[in-house]
Amino acid sequence: MALESHRLNPARRYALILVDLSVGFTDPLRSRLAFACDDVIAANQRLLAAFRERGDPVFYTTVAYDSPAQAYVFREKIPALNDLVAGSELVGIDARVAPRADEYVIVKHAASGFFGTDLAQRLRATGADGVVVSGLTTSGCVRATALDALQHDLRVLIPYEAVGDRDQDAHAANLRDLQIKYADVADLDACLALLGA
């Protein structure tokens, strides 16, 4: 029997969380963690423009390590994460979606943008009761961040063009599961229309 699932009520104010749009995940010529994602970058450029025009909050996450003790089991599982050295070019946000001076970059060590960070407090300080989650990768850090956002009682919206994954089967399966249980997944135009409602 299918699980009953409802569309969430719209948030009063959304914040944008751009998950791991760092060079380490967006530039396959410089990083073994990255994959071609120009279409995802383009969708995020549209999102950023809409949020900036409205004056709504924008947050970024990036993964960076400066100690062997940080997330050592995660790094054991995925050794390529060791390339994400704090201060290196790989942990910088892709210039195509670069943050402005008033947009905060959360440095994280785990999959979720919330785990071990002050993201929840920063979101609450803006008055946001919902988040638009975008970025990379759908089956990993996007999913983990979206799930934790819901667990902080934030309404979660995911524009499917603005997320990506190196594994298309995982991408589709995770979007489907997120839609059923944790978030509203919609096309970018619908998400932008909801922001302006």
Q: Which position among 91, 123, 141, 150 bears the catalytic label?
A: 141
* Domains of the chain, start order: 14-195 (3.40.50.850)
| Number of C-beta neighbours around residue 94 at 10 A | 20
Contact partners, residue 131, CB within 8 Å, separation at least 6? 11, 14, 15, 16, 17, 123, 149, 154, 155, 156, 157
Has 141 been annotated as catalytic?
yes
CB 25 within 8 A of CB 33: yes
pLDDT digit string (tens) for the chain, length 197 residues: 667 889 999 999 999 999 999 999 999 999 999 999 999 999 999 999 999 999 999 999 999 999 999 999 999 999 999 999 999 999 999 999 999 999 999 999 999 999 999 999 999 999 999 999 999 999 999 999 999 999 999 999 999 999 999 999 999 999 999 999 999 999 999 999 988 76
